[in-house]
Amino acid sequence: MSKPVKAAGIESPAAAEIPFEQALKKLGSIVQAMENDELPLENLLSQYEEGMRMYQQCQSRLAAAELRIQQIEKDAAGRLTAKPLDLPESKSQL
C-alpha cells in the first residue's frame, strides 16, 4: 500500500486509495474549476492543496510504473525476464 501524500504539511490518507485514473481525472477537474470559476481565496487555496495532492500521487505512481517497466526486459527468445534495476543518478533522487 502506498504512503499518504503530503502537500503543504497536510496528509491525506484517503488520497492514497484513489486509483491513478481517478486521481488524474480529479486533478483535471480541479484545474478546470480554478481556471473557470471565480473562487473565494479560501476555496482557491483548498482546491490548490487538493490539486497538489493529486499531482504528487499521479507523479509517484507514474515513477513506480516506470521502474517496473525498466525491470522487465525481453530476451532474444522473446521471453520476459526481470533484470536488476540500474537507476540513473538523476532519477534516484526523486
Q: Which three cell numbers, joined as nine digits, stand for 52? A: 497538489
What integer pLDDT is reported at residue 11 of this predicted model? 45
Q: What is the pLDDT of residue 86?
A: 65
Name the residue with cell 530476451. 75
56 by Cβ neighbours in 10 Å (0-12 / 13-18 / 19+) ranks as middle
CA torsion 35-39-37-6 (nearest 10°) is 40
The structural domain count of the chain equals 1
Range of the domain at 25: 5-93
| pTM score of the predicted model | 0.59
**Mean pLDDT, contiguous 10-residue spans, the chain (94 residues):** 41 64 94 86 92 94 86 71 63 47
pLDDT score for 20:
93
Residue 81 is predicted with a pLDDT of: 74
Strand partners, 59: none
